[in-house]
Every structure is written in structure tokens, then in C-alpha cells.
Amino acid sequence: MVVVLALVLTGPAARGEIPALHEVIELAPDGSARVAYHLQVAVPPAAGAPTGLRLPLPFAQTGPFLLEGATGWTASRTEDGGVAFLDLAPAATQTPATTPTDAAAPAPATAPTDAAAQAPATNPIDAGAGSITVRFDAPHLFKTREEIAAGGKEKPLPFGDISLAHTFVNTSGHAIASFSLVIALPEGFIFQALDEYSPKPGKSDPGFPYRFARLGERHSLELLPPPLRIGDRASVKARIREASRPWLLLVALAALALAWLLRFRPGGP
């Protein structure tokens, strides 16, 4: 929390607004995930705005950052006060503080160049640059039951449940007008329960800020909070599990029903 506050206070001034930021996490059965940030960055320019924007990176990351959409930007991993961030900046104004700290972390990725787009040394938020998508792989978003059992330190959850939690903190230095988080489970997995989520709806809010849906064949959870101010967080904590039919229970129930029908027939013995 202190780190977040410090970043908020010392980070880029909140002069502009990110129209939309959508985070999509597609999980694999081994606990790894493909993560994508989809940003719309077209906003009215603001005078004197500093460069770059910073997004939280609350998980380890492998492989390069892949950028799509607007050209001439770079994406890099940064650590500040022990907290990892994804720094996005136009190539010519790469944030000096950017220091890849992980041997596995790649060098800053640069999107395919566009002569026109490389020139401006201004805040991408204020540049009217359009849409950016940053993709990367994360090796560990949840621990499989086998990993928990092998580790020997944690107790596995009952009923075969697996704990899954994710938090997005708006460290970008700008308000985000429309934020969404989508977590898609591996095929064959379901959400057992949503234990916590934030922000909670107010008394006057007619609905809930989340919904369970599908992303193709996968069960997914969409968190749709109201606009995020600087420092606001959106988080979910859920239990997931592999879908399975309770065959043993079904057989027992069938036997019980049969026994009842045979034993308690009206007028019977």
C-alpha cells in the first residue's frame, strides 16, 4: 500500500484519462497464463505531462512483451521498491528508470516502427495514439494441487478446490474511464465460488460488478468495476476446480430411490 501511494504521489501526473483498459488472463491447466492488456489511449492532450505510463505486473513474466496496435512504443519490466511494473513509453522517451531485473525478463520490446509514430517525445496518453495491446506469458498464476502437495508447506483446499486471486491497482498515473478484467479458466475447469471481489457495489448500485460468462469453451469471470481513479484497485479471489460428475453419489442416490420405491409402496408390506 505504501509503495502504491508513493508511486501515485511521485508518478506521472494525472492530467489525462485512459479511456479504456481491459486486462485478459487466459489460464492454462498448469497454472501459467497468457496475459493481455488492451488500452485505448486517445485523450485530449495535457500540457507538460510527463512521459510513459506504468501498469502493475503482479506476476512473474516469461518471454518477450508483444505489442500490437499503435506503433513506436516500448514495453519493459521495471521494479520499483520491490514491486514489478510494466512500463509503456514511446521508444524515444524510454523511462530512464527502466531496468530489466530478471534474467528471464527480455529487453524492452519495441513495436513495429512507424516513422510518423516514432517522432513524438510526449506522453502516449496525451498523444492521441489509439489502441495498444501488450501480451506476455506468466508462468504461475495459481498453484496446481500437485505443486501444493509437492511443496508440503500449504494445505490443499478441500473438495479439490484451487485458490485463485488477482488484483489490479491503478498505478498508471491516470484515471481509467473503463476498466475490465477477464479471467478465463482452462478448458474443463469451472469456478466453484467467488469468495471476494472489489470494489463492492454501493447500496444504490442496481447490479453487481462481475459476471460469469464464457470465452469460447472456457468458463470466465468478468470484473466490471466503475471508473478507476489513481490508486483504486479491482480484485477477485475465487476458488476453481476441475469439473467432474459425482458418479459415486449418483449411484448411491439411485440405489436409495430404488430401495424406497420397493420398500414403501402404499398398501405394500
Contacts with another protein, residue ranges (CB under 8 A): 158-159, 161, 190-194, 203, 206-208, 211-214, 219, 241, 243, 245-246, 249-250, 253-254, 256-258, 260-261, 264-266
Q: Tell me how far, at minimum, the Cβ of 46 lies from another protein, in Å.
A: 35
Cβ-based burial of 231 (10 A; exposed 0-12, middle 13-18, buried ≥19):
middle
CB of 143 to another protein, least distance (A): 19
Least spacing, CB of residue 36 vs another protein, in Å:
22
Nearer to another protein (CB atom), residue 152 or residue 216: 216
H or E stretch at 67? strand 62-69
Measured CA to CA, the distance from residue 66 to residue 88 in angstroms comes to: 12
Rounded to an integer, what distance in angstroms lies between the CA atom of residue 266 and that of residue 169? 65
Neighbours of 84 (CB within 10 A): 17
Residue 150: CB minimum distance to another protein, A: 24
Q: Which residues contact 198 (CB under 8 A, 6 or more apart)?
A: 225, 233, 234, 235
Residues 6+ apart with CB under 8 A from 115: none
- Give the C-alpha separation, 68 to 61, whole Å: 18
> Which lies closer to another protein via its Cβ, residue 9 or residue 248?
248
Q: Which is nearer to another protein, 38 or 239 (CB)?
A: 239
| Least distance in angstroms from the C-beta of 124 to another protein | 37
**Which CB atom, from 153 or from 265, has the smaller least distance to another protein?**
265
If the CB atoms of residues 214 and 229 are measured against another protein, the closer one turns out to be: 214
